[in-house]
Structure 1
Amino acid sequence: MSRLANRSFWAGKRVFLTGHTGFKGSWAQLWLKQMGADVTGYALPPLTEPSLHALLGAADGHLGDIRNADALSAAVQKSNPEIILHMAAQPLVRESYRTPAETFDVNVMGTLRLLEAARNVPALKAIVVITTDKVYRNDESGRHFPEDATLGGHDPYSGSKAACELVVSTWRDAFLRERGIRVATARGGNVLGGGDFSSDRLVPDIVRAAQSGKALDIRSPMATRPWQHVLDCLNGYFVYAEALYGGETSVDALNFGPSPAERQIPVRDVATSVQAAMGLAPQWRDVSSTDQPREMQTLGLDPALAAKTLSWASRLSQDEAIAWTANWYDGWRKGGDARALTLDQIDAFMKG
């Protein structure tokens, strides 16, 4: 069984969480607070309507841009965190084609600003910078990339995150290690979970199609991804932070994704499974022939090092991740309280 985030470890810990208004950040903030952590959030206002941040009633934290060095530094210094979890980013591939310079500015320079702000924090012991499964130079071979695979990126989002990895490596070697601050990058798989309302993402597109009565358009029905529930991904980040804080590991980067032994599930099968679980007619429209930016067709991660280093593995299979996600949205669509739905899944995950 996979190692779980340690509630007693997080109780009372001061955590600076960037991106707390986003999808993963909202789950992370709620879970950390449930474990007793003292969380200071820093992010832009939610970019979607609805947003999970608002649905959870999470009104606290700082609203600001991670590229604003003065405001970011002031917030970091005031909170004097023991741990920093950096999730703020421009996270969308298709958006990165529309705004490539801004994507690099947010994902690279934003990270640099945070690491600069962290250099002189007295209590700081560990930083986990969240990048992505797309940091690897993807040759479309279908292999599952280990951490030492070549970094790169065809699209601006992937390239910006690969560049972010280099920034983290440089600041770790030049400044942070000598101050006793352990900093590492976490490369998570394609995350599923309730409360994601972003544009150009599969499950939110399914929900929007159901609400509008319009057909679901799928750009790459046969593309495969390392599907993973948000709680499995976050559990990996939390356990990694614990290990860095306590000096259990000096590994600089880890993959968090489903086992390569699991079947490769194409986008179309995820879509029909989610639709069926929500009581919708499993149907969609293939729009892959339309003019659109290039996206990789195959992507896989090898999480063996996380298993060896942290005793971490996905607790939910990909099929279970799909089912949990569909159940959350189905409950919410039928009038369920988003906070209660989210807390119920956190509790179920923790109980195993």
Structure 2
Amino acid sequence: MQFSDIYRDKKVFVTGHTGFKGTWLISWLHLLGAQVKGYSLAPQNPFDLYHIMEGDKMCDSVISDIMDGERLKQELLEFEPDFVFHLAAQPLVRLSYDIPVETFAVNAVGTANVLDALRFLKNPCVAVFITTDKVYHNIESNYYYKEDDRLGGFDPYSASKACAELVIDSYRNSFFNLIKFEEHKKSISVTRAGNVIGGGDWAKDRIIPDIVRALSTGKEVLVRNPAAVRPWQHVMEPVGGYLMLGARQYNEPKKFAQAFNFGPDKEDNLTVKEVVQKAIDVWGTGIFHTPEQLEVPHEAGLLQLDIQKAKTELGWKPKLNANQAILETINWYKHYFKDQSSIKEFTFQTIQAFDGK
């Protein structure tokens, strides 16, 4: 595997390890031979991917709140990690309208807690902070956002992630300034990924889980924003990007301590309607509809990422086009409903096949 020389036998601290992307990350790190310690809230459901993958066997799992700064600092400092991947977050746009204060606290102050713990870590460390494509001040025009574009956010989730980016930038300047790198030995980067799809996501109000829940029970798929355009990508694309960035930072910590977008190629920015129809085609049956009068909170109608920097500077590029990403995703769920006993091995095989592309 392309990261084996970097991550094998290294200590990797992952926040949000019990979540959807977090479980894919620790599964990949497990295959790479890393020693992983996770810090996160407990999975919400018995069918969550973390349980399916037997996550407790792949890491030292600490079930605790990212808002508990002292516990977080204690666990991180005791572990003395070589790498930190910060994924813990309140990740849902629509939920952020219901719990805006908690969303701001978890996403901004929680990020500050991780950064503050790193201040007291004595050994060198690479830290990759995962935010979102929604951190950009989105004017919803036919524009592809670059890493140095203005940050902002309409909804509480997007704004809270933009706040997190300001926190990261402040700590990077104040405590982990590259001018004094030889003193602190901390390399801090930021990643912004597009709309991620993949097997094992059961979150409420996400399009793929909504599709799967409907199709698996013979119901119509309810589509809220059929014309909305998003940068869709399979979960292994950004997770592979995080690992690649961490590896690059390990070798050249000052050069890669910056922000990177991970998204699809331009031709793979699809509407929600297109994604739903392609998913139904792969599933083999099903229909969808959009109610004529559906009151929903504001969500961006158009969002696109420029990924040229990641291509040029990291050597990263998408491996799956949109059709392949949807195919991989829906096939995972079909396998899950057909034979849950082998889904763990199926997931490992998916990672290995992707890494070998």
TM-score bin, normalised by smaller chain: over 0.9
* Whole-Å separation in 1 of the counterparts to 2:291 and 2:44: 26
Does the residue aligned with 1:66 lie in a helix, a strand or coil?
coil
My pick for the range that moved more, 334-343 or 165-174, is 334-343
Instruction: Please give the per-residue CA displacement for 1:242-298, whole angstroms capped at 9, x wherever unaligned.
Output: 1112216245100000122x14311111111112212222x1111373111000011
Does the residue aligned with 1:340 lie in a helix, a strand or coil?
helix
Post-superposition shift, 1:136? Answer: 0.3
Post-superposition shift, 1:8? Answer: 1.5
Amino acid at match of 1:315: K
Instruction: Show the 5 A alignment for 1:285-304.
Output: 285-287=289-291, 289-304=293-308
* Whole-Å separation in 2 of the counterparts to 1:9 and 1:237: 13
C-alpha contact 1:118 1:124 (8 A) present in aligned 2: no
* Whole-Å separation in 2 of the counterparts to 1:9 and 1:253: 21
Does the residue aligned with 2:84 lie in a helix, a strand or coil?
strand
Does the residue aligned with 2:167 lie in a helix, a strand or coil?
helix
C-alpha contact 1:219 1:288 (8 A) present in aligned 2: no
Gaps in structure 2 of 5+ consecutive residues? none
Identify the residue that residue 225 of structure 1 maps to in structure 2. 230
Post-superposition shift, 1:5? Answer: 4.4
* Whole-Å separation in 2 of the counterparts to 1:39 and 1:251: 22
Instruction: Show the 5 A alignment for 1:5-84.
Output: 5-59=2-56, 60-84=60-84
Amino acid at match of 1:295: E
Post-superposition shift, 1:180? Answer: 2.0
Task: Tell me whether 1:327 sits opposite 2:331 in the alignment.
Answer: yes
Identify the residue that residue 259 of structure 2 maps to in structure 1. 253
Identify the residue that residue 163 of structure 1 maps to in structure 2. 163
* Whole-Å separation in 2 of the counterparts to 1:297 and 1:278: 26
Identify the residue that residue 275 of structure 1 maps to in structure 2. 280
Task: Call closer, same or farther: CA 1:285–1:324 in 2, change over 3 Å.
Answer: same
Task: Call closer, same or farther: CA 1:5–1:133 in 2, change over 3 Å.
Answer: farther
C-alpha contact 2:191 2:260 (8 A) present in aligned 1: yes
Identify the residue that residue 209 of structure 2 maps to in structure 1. 204
Identify the residue that residue 120 of structure 2 maps to in structure 1. 120
Post-superposition shift, 1:30? Answer: 0.7
Does the residue aligned with 1:241 lie in a helix, a strand or coil?
helix
Does the residue aligned with 1:219 lie in a helix, a strand or coil?
coil
Identify the residue that residue 136 of structure 1 maps to in structure 2. 136
Post-superposition shift, 1:350? Answer: 1.4
Under a length normalisation based on structure 2, what TM-score does the superposition of the two structures give? 0.94
C-alpha contact 1:5 1:238 (8 A) present in aligned 2: no
How many corresponding residue pairs? 347
Amino acid at match of 1:166: L
Task: Tell me whether 1:172 sits opposite 2:176 in the alignment.
Answer: no
Identify the residue that residue 311 of structure 2 maps to in structure 1. 307
* Whole-Å separation in 1 of the counterparts to 2:169 and 2:353: 36
* Whole-Å separation in 1 of the counterparts to 2:204 and 2:347: 21
C-alpha contact 1:103 1:157 (8 A) present in aligned 2: yes
My pick for the range that moved more, 96-105 or 43-52, is 43-52
Identity %: 39
Under a length normalisation based on structure 1, what TM-score does the superposition of the two structures give? 0.96
C-alpha contact 1:5 1:235 (8 A) present in aligned 2: no
* Whole-Å separation in 2 of the counterparts to 1:195 and 1:288: 31
Q: Paired residue for 2:288, among 284, 287, 303?
A: 284
Instruction: Please give the per-residue CA displacement for 1:282-332, whole angstroms capped at 9, x wherever unaligned.
Output: x11113731110000111000101111101111111111111001111111
Task: Call closer, same or farther: CA 1:29–1:263 in 2, change over 3 Å.
Answer: closer
